[in-house]
Amino acid sequence: MPALPDLIILFDGVCNLCNRSVQFVIKHDKQKQIHFAALQSEAGKKLLQQHNLTDKSLNSFVFIENGKAHTQSTAALHVSKYLSGGFKLLYGFLIVPPFIRNAVYRFIANNRYKWFGKQDECMIPTPELEARFLH
Categorize the per-residue pLDDT at 119 as very low, low, confident or very high, splitting at 50, 70 and 90: confident
**What's the confidence (pLDDT) of residue 55?**
64
pLDDT tens, 61-91?
899 999 999 999 999 999 999 999 999 999 9
Average pLDDT over every residue of 103-117: 91
Domain count, the chain: 1
How far, in whole angstroms, is CA 44 from its chain's centroid?
11
Residue 2 lies in a domain: no
Residues 6+ apart with CB under 8 A from 95: none
The amino acid at residue 25 is: V
Q: How does DSSP assign 38-93, residue by residue?
A: ETTSHHHHHHHHHTT--TTS-SSEEEEETTEEEEHHHHHHHHHTTSSGGGGGGGGG
The SS3 of residue 111 is helix
pLDDT tens, 89-98?
999 999 999 9
Global pTM reads 0.90
Residue 80 lies in a domain: yes
pLDDT tens, 6-36?
999 999 888 888 889 999 999 999 999 999 9
Instruction: Compute the distance between CA of residue 125 and CA of residue 132 in angstroms, rounded to an integer.
Output: 9
Helix then strand then coil, % of the chain, to nearest 5: 45, 15, 35
Domain that holds residue 14: 7-132
Residue 89 lies in a domain: yes
Instruction: Compute the distance between CA of residue 118 and CA of residue 106 in angstroms, rounded to an integer.
Output: 17
**What's the confidence (pLDDT) of residue 84?**
95
> Residue 46: pLDDT above 90?
yes
